[in-house]
Amino acid sequence: MAYSGPFQPGDKVQLTDPKRRHFTFELTPGAHFHTHKGMIAHDEIIGSDEGSVVTSTMGTDFLCFRHLMVDHVLSMPRGAAVIYPKDTGQILVEGDIFSGARVLEAGAGSGALSMALLRAVGEKGHVFSYELREDHLSFAIDNVTEYFGQQPEHWSPRLGDFGEVTPEDLGGPVDRVILDMVEPWHFLETVKNVLIPGGVFMTYVATVPQLMNIMEGIRAQQCFTEPRAWETLLREWRVEGLATRPEHRMNAHTAFLVMTRRLADGVTPPRPQRKARR
């Protein structure tokens, strides 16, 4: 699948009609796409540039663009809830997911974060994705394979208990660890063992009790920096002249993100000094 340039067979094209409805399909020579507004021949799209307009047999114009990762994530089959793009972006930047990094994630869920991590680390990096449930891992493998066109060689999806993972299982310690599970505070010893000194540990939890437990658990380990927690709220705006206003609906709370870094062996964190309450 090409990511830029003229459309090629095998690319996923997303058509947008005048009412901003999306239709996505894979381009196949000789095939036709049928809509309630008429038929469109795939051959009319193949070879054209992104941003072109194709007209159906009933005279309706459709904009043609490639299917983006965000489109794939929000429309793909799910075995578990996905990490939404607004949080994925925070994980990639706050977690400093760099090209060539070795990243361990658990659990894999439906593969949404796996895809973003694989693109960020590139072919010189590696992503290990652990999942306890076989059905969820199957969804992740199918979704990632469909997006990339094949299962990436720098990806190791594994069925198993993250609590039993050792550095030897990974070919050595990793640069980053990201947990998306119900009780991540039970696995902090494992995180310590597989993460390099200075490595970033991030976790994704949905509720306030979970947030409190993971924060206190990290502090109790005495081998991580003072953890930082936040949530990301996203609100779109409708811009129509004098009627410009925020949308009535927004993507508000999805989860809390927690970030910390592993200290060197034998080092304990300095005691944080907080301002006295008046």
Annotated binding site: 110-113, 131, 136, 161, 180
Task: Beginning with the edge strand found earlier in the chain, give each strand of the sheet holding 195-205 in spatial order.
Answer: 155-159, 126-131, 102-106, 174-179, 195-205, 256-261, 228-230
- 100 contacts: CB under 8 Å, gap ≥ 6: 121, 122, 124, 125
Query: Binding site residues for S-adenosyl-L-methionine, as ranges?
Result: 110-113, 131, 136, 161, 180
What the block records as the tokens of 242 is 């004098």
Q: 143, 75 in Cβ contact below 8 A?
A: no
Q: 44, 54 in Cβ contact below 8 A?
A: yes
- The residues pairing with 104 across neighbouring beta strands, listed in sequence order, are 128, 177
